[in-house]
Structure 1
Amino acid sequence: MDYLEFKITCLEEFREILIAELAEIGFDSFLETDEGIDAYAPEPDFDREAFDQLLEKYRLPAQVSLQEGKMPKVNWNEEWEKNYDPIAVEDLVYVRASFHQPAAGFKHEIVINPKMSFGTGHHATTFQMLKHQGAIDHQGKRVLDVGSGTGILAIMAHLCGAKEVEAFDIDEWCVENGNENFDLNGLSTRMDIGTIRDVNPQGPYEIILANINKNVLLDEMSIYSDLLAPNGHLLLSGFYTEDVDDLTACAKPLGLSLIQMHSKDNWAALILQKD
């Protein structure tokens, strides 16, 4: 079976939503690139009308451009393995796929096999969130991971000694993949599906993790504050350094004070503490 190949150039902040929506219309493999994403769909299942409608929806806001081609059937696992590299967050944690060899000299190891994607997926926001987790005492605490994706931050919380970890995401394939990754890393918890309002988690939590995007964080900030225990920590990322002032201005009236900030490649990550 041949695959249709679409090389999509787009703004970086639109990559994840484009992957999610393309997956809904029959695309089953993706590769992150410097310019955007390469997306692949089995030719017999390709819905041209749905694809054109989706592209038109994002063409202007995401600055989408497109090159289309065809390629013979391919061993996706082999391609994925060639393009997926492990990452090291200092000596804190080594993140690898199941086909990589373990590495010595790290406090923790996480095994992540991203579903339907053979890009590295190790974004600056994830790197910084893991680093911030290493600075926060998780021992015996309740942790909530909002928009969990592959489940990597929930897994890190478990490895850091959290007593209870809850996680959810709005995307079905993220939930399926997250649960597979939980199994790989010895977590018995299951990822739920929905927004924070759908899932309605019951606080208090000593730690809340939210690596999403600025607009969602601003919209949900009051919910995070309500769910957070006094002196609890809220770890945020998924936004640019120029967005930090907007987020801290939203957080401050809710009793959330900035105690630490880092940035990497113009992506910011914050640790806030509840009064």
Structure 2
Amino acid sequence: MIPFDRNRALDILHNTEVHLTARAYIREISREFSLTPFQAKKVLTSLVQSQDVAYQDLYGSTYVMEGFSKPVRITNRFFILPPDIASIAGSNDIDIRISVGISFGTGHHPTTRLCLAALDNLFFSTRQSEHLQGGKAGDIGTGSGVLAIAACLAGISRCMAWETDPNAVSEAQRNVAANGLKNRINVIHDIMTVQDLRLSLVMANLRFPTLKQIAPDICSILVPGGNLILSGVRAWEMDNLKTHYSAMGFSIDWEREEKQWGAVTLTKKP
């Protein structure tokens, strides 16, 4: 039995900026635990057998990804699990059923977890939930649809989910259907355009330059007192993000960082 720390081995996948092939992952395991390549390959085999990681085809190549064959608790309230897996959630938990695809959204990326933590806090730990229950939301760059789904399961009545990637649109639509929300979530294959909307909640898990660019549009569709969840931001970009949105009339309510990524919840001032 080769001694290794499972969490440290999985952190290699969490922290990488690129997808890792099996060979690259073995090399990183070898370096992290000072193992020979043969021993590192044994570690990878062990992780595959325990379903902690799996091989996934992506854009014609095979990469090592975290496994997704069992429910994963993301926050105090939210579980993410595949559509065909039995729930283990308690009476106060919320299941989000997501199929593995090319889009972020299975809870493995820090920004997904941060956004779900922000939603958990907003709906279940603050008084803001009073005006959010039954309100309308928007999810800009929805990806797998996980945030739109989570918001509706937490109490939002309807959500518009914008996405420009046709593959992600298809995945989001399947995930929306798997959660029984086809009548409440509208997945839109387009960029978010300014419309006569009055949304109580807007979510955007995008990179900082994009969040900065679309700030005026977000402001125009969010009602006074409405809530905004932003992520996709590097830890060192957080101050600039907060400064930019504060100057546009938002107050900062909550923020958190994980593995050099950050998220923030803001309220549009009346």
- TM-superposed deviation, 1:202: 3.1
Partner amino acid, structure 2, of 1:115: G
The reply on whether 1:221 has 2:215 as its aligned counterpart is yes
2:231 aligned partner: 237
- Retained in 2: the 8 A contact 1:81–1:118? no
Q: Note if 1:87 corresponds to 2:72.
A: yes
Pair 1:193 & 2:193 matched: no
**Amino acid in structure 1 at the alignment position of 2:117:** K
> Contact between 2:115 and 2:230, CA under 8 Å: does it hold in 1?
yes
Residues 118/264 of structure 1: CA separation in 2 closer, same or farther (3 Å cut): closer
Please give the root-mean-square deviation of Cα atoms over the aligned residues, in Å.
3.0
Shift of 1:224: 0.7
Cα distance in 1, alignment partners of residues 105 and 264 from structure 2: 26
Shift in alpha-carbon separation, 1:227–1:89, aligned structure 2, 3 A: same
Post-superposition shift, 1:165?
A: 0.9
Q: CA deviation at 1:160?
A: 1.0
Q: So what's the TM-score if we normalise by structure 1? A: 0.68
In 2, the alpha carbon distance for the partners of 1:213 and 1:155 equals 21
Which structure 2 residue ranges, 5 or more long, are not aligned?
1-12, 20-52, 123-128
Indicate yes or no: 2:258 matched with 1:264: yes
Moved more, 141-150 or 115-124: 115-124
Q: How does 1:240-259 map to 2 (within 5 A)?
A: 240-259=234-253
CA 1:231 to 1:175, structure 2 compared with 1: closer, same or farther past 3 Å? same
Structure 1 segments of 4+ aligned residues over 4 angstroms from their partners: 11-15, 79-85, 116-121
How big is the shift at 1:259? 1.4
Which of 195, 200, 203 is the matching residue for 1:206? 200
Is the CA contact 2:66–2:108 (under 8 Å) kept in the aligned structure 1?
Answer: no
Counterpart residue type for residue 107 of structure 1: D
Q: Percent same amino acid among aligned pairs?
A: 27
Aligned pair count reads: 210
State the one-letter code of the partner of 1:102. S
Give the 3 Å change call, closer, same or farther, for CA 248–113 of structure 1 in structure 2. Answer: same
Most deviating of 123-132 and 113-122: 113-122
**1:159 and 2:153 correspond:** yes
In the other structure, the counterpart of 2:121 is 135
1:248 shift after superposition: 1.3
Partner SS for 1:246? helix
How does the TM-score come out when normalised to structure 2? Answer: 0.69
Answer whether contact 1:80 1:119 (CA < 8 A) is retained: no
